[in-house]
Amino acid sequence: MSPFFSILLHAHSGFRWLLLIILLVAIYKAFTGNTGNKPFTKSDNTLRLLTVIFTHLQLIIGLILYIQSPLVKFFWGNPGTAITQEAPMFFGLFHFVFMLLAVIFITIGSAKTKKKHTDKEKFKTMRNWFLAALIIILLAIPWPYLPTAGRALF
């Protein structure tokens, strides 16, 4: 494994926690903002923006890893064999497709939130799209319990 790949992989791994924390805070604020009929403040808007920025940074690192990963290379080079193996399938297809979907949800959710006219609509939109993205991300993270695709928590 090249030092460049190793550094990016560690950054991608650590960044997941930052992304999860900011996403959880954004969803919590959207939930309480909606139920408590609160105003959509500047800090709520900053949280929305930061969530998108963190997600896109994770996407960029993910794309570079995807081009370089030996597991992904094996997946595309030997699709017939790779389809029966957990780790190449997980990173070559499952992780890639699901995380891309989550990035799309966060991007669309953020853009729709911005366009809504009332504060309640803004909170509801952010809550729904970000929550759907969170569920997808939680499903597609290579948690340590996965037999061969599982990775360390840090």
Per CB under 6 A, 82 contacts ligand HEM = no
Per CB under 6 A, 136 contacts ligand HEM = no
Give one DSSP letter per residue of the chain, joined into a string.
--HHHHHHHHHHHHHHHHHHHHHHHHHHHHHHHHHTT----HHHHHHHHHHHHHHHHHHHHHHHHHHH-HHHHHHHH-HHHHTT-HHHHIIIIIHHHHHHHHHHHHHHHHHHHHH-SSHHHHHHHHHHHHHHHHHHHHHHS--TTSTTT-----
Per CB under 6 A, 29 contacts ligand HEM = no
Which is closer to ligand HEM, CB of 9 or CB of 52?
Answer: 9
Candidates 26, 27, 65, 134; binder of ligand HEM (CB under 6 A) is 65
Per CB under 6 A, 88 contacts ligand HEM = no
Per CB under 6 A, 12 contacts ligand HEM = yes
Q: Point out which residues bind ligand HEM (CB under 6 A).
A: 9, 12-13, 16, 19, 55, 58-59, 62-63, 65-66, 69-72, 91, 95-96, 99-100, 102-103, 137, 141-142, 151-152
